[in-house]
Structure 1
Amino acid sequence: MTFPFNVSPDPYILLLIGSGFLIALVAWLPLVLRRLPLSLPIVCIGLGALIFAIPGVSFDPLPVNHPEFTERFSEFVVIIALMGAGLKIDRIFGFRDWSVAWRLIGITMPLCIGAITLIAGWWVGLSWTIALLIGAALAPTDPVLAADVQVGPPKSGEEDEVRFGLTSEAGLNDGFAFPFVHLAIALALAASTGEPWFTKWLTYNVLWEIGAGVVAGYAIGKAFGWLTFHVPAESKLAKTGDGLIALSATFVSYGLTELIHCYGFLAVFVTALTFRHSHRDHEFQLDMHQLTEQIERIAMMVLLLLFGGALTSGLLAPLTWIDVVAVLAILLVVRPVTGLIGLLGHQTDWTERMTLAFFGIRGVGSVYYLAYGLNQMEGVEGAERLWAFVGLVILVSILMHGLTVTPIMRLLDRHHGRDPDADEATPPPGLQGPASAL
Structure 2
Amino acid sequence: MNTFVIELLVVGLAAFGMAWMPAVTKKTGISYSIIYVAAGFLLYKAFDIFPTPDPLRKENYAVHLTELMVIISLMGTGLKIDRAFSFRQWKSPFLLVSITMLLCIAATSFLAYHFLHFDIPTSVLLGAVLAPTDPVLASDVQVGPPHETERNEVRFALTAEAGMNDGTAFPFTWLSIVVFGMVYKGEGSLFDWLWMDFFYRIVAGVGCGFLVGRAIAWLVFYLPKKKAFIEVRDGFVALSVTLIVYGLTELVHGYGFIAVFVAAITLRNYELHDKYHTRLHSFTDQIERAMLGIILLLFGGSLATGILEALTWPLALFGIGFLFVVRPVLGLVSLLPLKLSFKEKSAISFFGIRGIGSFFYLAFALSKADFRFGDELWSTVSFVVLVSILVHGTTAAFGMKAVESEYEENGKTDDLS
TM-score class, shorter-chain normalisation, is over 0.9
Mapped partners of 1:145, 1:158: distance in 2: 21
Which has the higher mean CA deviation after the structures are superposed, 161-170 or 21-30? 21-30
Q: Which residue among 214, 220, 228 is the counterpart of 1:222?
A: 214
4+ residue segments displaced more than 6 Å: none
**Residue 72 (structure 1) aligns with:** 64
Residue of structure 2 in register with 1:20 after alignment: 12
Residues 129-184 of structure 1, C-alpha deviation per residue, up to 9 Å, x if partnerless? 10100100000010101111111111112331001100110011111111111111
Matched residues in 1 for 2:256 and 2:39: separation? 32
Give the structure 1 partner of residue 234 of structure 2: 242
Separation (CA, whole Å) in 2 of partners of 1:255 and 1:394: 28
The AA in structure 2 aligned to 1:171 is G
The residue number in structure 1 matching 2:414 is none
Work out the percentage of aligned pairs sharing the same amino acid: 41
Determine the structure 2 residue equivalent to 1:404: 395
Deviations, residues 15-51 of structure 1 (Å, cap 9, x unaligned)? 4432332232111122122132310111110010011
Q: Match for residue 327 of structure 1?
A: 319
2:140 corresponds to which letter in structure 1?
A: D
**DSSP 3-state at the match of 2:285:** helix
Deviations 1:49-83 (A, max 9, x none): 01111233242111100000001100000000000
Shifted more, 386-395 versus 184-193: the winner is 184-193
2:376 pairs with 1:385: yes
User: Quick one: distance in 2 between partners of 1:411 and 1:140?
Assistant: 25
Q: Which of 333, 336, 340 does residue 348 from structure 1 map onto? A: 340
Counterpart among 79, 94, 101 of residue 87 in structure 1: 79
The residue identity in structure 2 corresponding to 1:134 is: L
State the one-letter code of the partner of 1:256: L
Residue 260 of structure 2 is matched in structure 1 by 268
Residues 418 and 66 of structure 1, relative CA distance in 2, 3 Å threshold: farther
Contact 1:227 1:236 in 2 (8 A): no
Query: Deviation at 1:13?
Result: 3.6
After superposition, where does 1:48-59 map in structure 2 within 5 Å? 48-59=40-51
- 2 CA distance for matches of 1:12 and 1:194? 46
Query: Aligned residue for 1:114?
Result: 106
Residues 206 and 340 of structure 1, relative CA distance in 2, 3 Å threshold: same
How far, CA to CA, are the matches of 1:351 and 1:186 in structure 2? Answer: 40
Which whole-Å CA distance do the structure 1 matches of 2:119 and 2:182 have between them? 14
Q: Please, what TM-score do these two structures have when normalized by structure 2? A: 0.95
State whether residues 132 and 358 of structure 2, in contact with CA within 8 Å, keep that contact through their aligned partners in structure 1: yes
Distance 1:12 1:158 in 2: 45
Residue identity matched to 1:298: A
Residue correspondences, number: 408
Q: For the Cα contact (< 8 Å) 2:224–2:231, is it kept in 1?
A: no
CA contact (8 A) 2:332 2:346 kept: yes
Stretches of structure 2 lacking an aligned partner (at least 5 in a row): 411-417
| Inter-partner Cα distance in structure 2 for 1:353 and 1:195 | 43
Separation (CA, whole Å) in 1 of partners of 2:181 and 2:138: 33
Choose from 152, 165, 174 the match for 1:173: 165
Contact 1:64 1:387 (8 Å CA) reproduced: yes
Match of 1:184 among 171, 176, 185: 176
- The residue that corresponds to 1:209 in the other structure is 201
2:405 aligned to which of 414, 418, 422:
414
Contact 2:84 2:272 in 1 (8 A): no
AA partner of residue 58 (structure 2): H
Task: Name the residue aligned to 2:357.
Answer: 365
Distance (Å, rounded) in 1 between the aligned partners of 2:231 and 2:56:
43
Cα distance in 1 between the residues matched to 2:373 and 2:191? 30
Please give the alpha-carbon distance, in whole angstroms, between the structure 2 residues aligned to 1:247 and 1:295: 9
Distance 2:178 2:116 in 1: 22
Partner of 1:433: none
1:424 corresponds to? none
Match of 2:329 in 1: 337
Residue in structure 2 matching 1:151, options 132, 140, 143: 143
In structure 1, the gaps of 5 or more residues are 1-7, 420-438
Which residue does 2:28 correspond to in 1?
36
Superposed, which structure 2 residues align to 1:127-146 within 5 Å?
A: 127-146=119-138
Name 1:99's counterpart in structure 2.
91
Q: Which of 42, 46, 55 lines up with 2:38 in the alignment?
A: 46
1:426 match: none
Q: What is the distance in 2 between the residues matched to 1:244 and 1:365?
A: 23
| Contact kept in structure 2, 1:35 and 1:406, CA below 8 Å | no
Letter in 1 for 2:389: I
Give deviations 1:342-378, integer Å, cap 9, x for gaps.
Answer: 001211111100000000100000000001111111x
Answer yes or no: is the 8 Å Cα contact 1:36–1:406 preserved in 2.
Answer: no
Shift of residue 232 of structure 1? Answer: 3.7
SS at match of 2:81: coil
Alignment check: 8 A CA contact 1:80 1:250 kept: yes
CA distance in 2, matches of 1:196, 1:264: 23
Q: Distance in 1 between matches of 2:86 and 2:365?
A: 33
Of 151, 154, 165, 1:162 maps to 154
Q: 1:380, CA displacement in angstroms? A: 2.7
Higher mean C-alpha deviation, range 24-33 or range 283-292: 24-33
Partner of 1:281, secondary structure, is coil
- Measure the CA separation in 2 of the matches of 1:300 and 1:237: 32
Tell me how far 1:269 sits from its aligned partner: 0.2
Deviation at 1:416, TM superposition (A): 1.3
Output the CA distance in 1 between the equivalents of 2:150 and 2:133.
20
